[in-house]
Amino acid sequence: MTLEKGYRTELSVDGITIDRRDIEMLEAIDRHGSMHAAADALGRSYARLQQRIVELEAAVGDLTERRRGGKGGGGTELTETALELRRRFERHQTELDGVARATESVFAGTVRERTGTLGTVETAAGPVVALVPAGATTVQIGVRSDAVVLADPEESPERGVTSFRNQFTGTVSSIDSSDGVARVTLDLERVDEPPDGSKSVADVELETLVTQESADSLGITVGKTLRASFKATAARATPTGDAPSADDDASS
C-alpha cells in the first residue's frame, strides 16, 4: 500500500478562507481586464463573482479598481493588494509543494548514549545523533529529504565545526528531476572506515530533495560522491523495541 500526503493551499484572513478558486478569479480579471469577461471565462455568474470580490475586500481591502472609459473602453484592473495576495498564495503553494514531495529515509539502530533529548544511535551507516524518546533502546530514525544538505566533500566543513551533527559520504545512485526540483538518492558509506583506509558501503540509502539550480551548481550526476549533512533536530527516532520496565531495573 502506498500512502501519499495531501495538501490544499489556503490563506485565512479575518475568518475568510482564500483558496485556489479565488486566485483563479483574480488571474482571470487581470487577464481579461473585465469582471464580466472573467466570469464568462470561468463559467461563473457575474453576480456571484462580484459577491465574492466584496467578501474578500471586506477582509483584505480593495482588490479591483475601475479603469474609466476612453480609447481603450475602460474596464477593471487589480490593485497592488490583489497582486500581493496572489504572490503570497503562490509562495505558500511552493512551500507546500516542497512538503508534499518530501520523502523520509529511515535508519534503524540501537541507542548508544544520550544527552538530554538527544541520543547517539548506532546504525548501519554509522552513528546518528537524533531526537530520541526517553527509555528507547532500539529505534528507527526518520530524516526528511528536504532537511538534508548536499555539498562537495572537499569543500564542506568537518564535523564539529558546523551545526550539522550528522555528516555522511555517499555515491549518487539516482536523480529524478521535475519542475525545478531534483530528488537525489545516495548510497551511503560507513563513517568508521577500517584501518587500511578502504571504504565499505553501508547498504543504506539516503534520499535528498534539492532545487535543480543547486543540483546543477554541484554538477550532480550518477556516480558522483557527495557529502550529505543534516541537523540532529531533523532526525527523529521512534522506538521499535520494548523499553526496560521498572521491575527489570529493580531486578538487575
Q: Please write the tens of the pLDDT for every residue from 42-95.
A: 999 999 999 999 999 999 999 999 876 655 556 899 999 999 888 888 777 656
The listed range with the strongest mean pLDDT (5-9, 92-96, 106-110) is 106-110
Which residues fall within 8 angstroms of residue 68, CB to CB, at 6 or more apart? 74
Pick the more confident residue, 63 or 9.
63
Q: Is residue 190 domain-shared with residue 227, that is, in the same domain?
A: yes
Question: What is the band of 243 on the pLDDT scale with cuts at 50, 70, 90?
Answer: very low
Q: DSSP state, 9?
A: -
Q: Is residue 116 domain-shared with residue 130, that is, in the same domain?
A: yes
Sign of CA dihedral 162, 167, 173, 177: negative
Mean pLDDT calculated for residue range 29-44 = 93
Cell of 228: 550529505
- Here the CATH number for the domain that contains residue 73 is 1.10.10.10
- Number of structural domains (the chain) is 2
At 91 the pLDDT is 72
At 97 the pLDDT is 60
At 130 the pLDDT is 96
At 182 the pLDDT is 87
Residue range of the domain that includes 120: 104-241
Task: Decide: 235 and 221 in contact? Cβ < 8 Å.
Answer: no
Task: Decide: 175 and 221 in contact? Cβ < 8 Å.
Answer: yes
Mean pLDDT calculated for residue range 135-164 = 80
Question: What is the band of 202 on the pLDDT scale with cuts at 50, 70, 90?
Answer: low
Report the SS3 class of residue 245: coil
On whether residue 183 sits in a domain, the answer given is yes
101, 116, 138: which is the final residue of a domain?
Answer: 101
Q: Is residue 173 domain-shared with residue 201, that is, in the same domain?
A: yes
| Span of 59-63, 64-68, 141-145, 216-220 with lowest mean pLDDT | 64-68
53, 81, 101: which is the final residue of a domain?
Answer: 101
Which candidate, 160, 185, 39, places its Cα nearest to that of 103? 185
Report the SS3 class of residue 166: strand
Pick the more confident residue, 103 or 56.
56
| Span of 117-126, 207-216, 226-235 with lowest mean pLDDT | 207-216
One-letter amino acid identity for 248? D
101, 130, 153: which is the final residue of a domain?
Answer: 101
Q: Is residue 126 domain-shared with residue 81, that is, in the same domain?
A: no
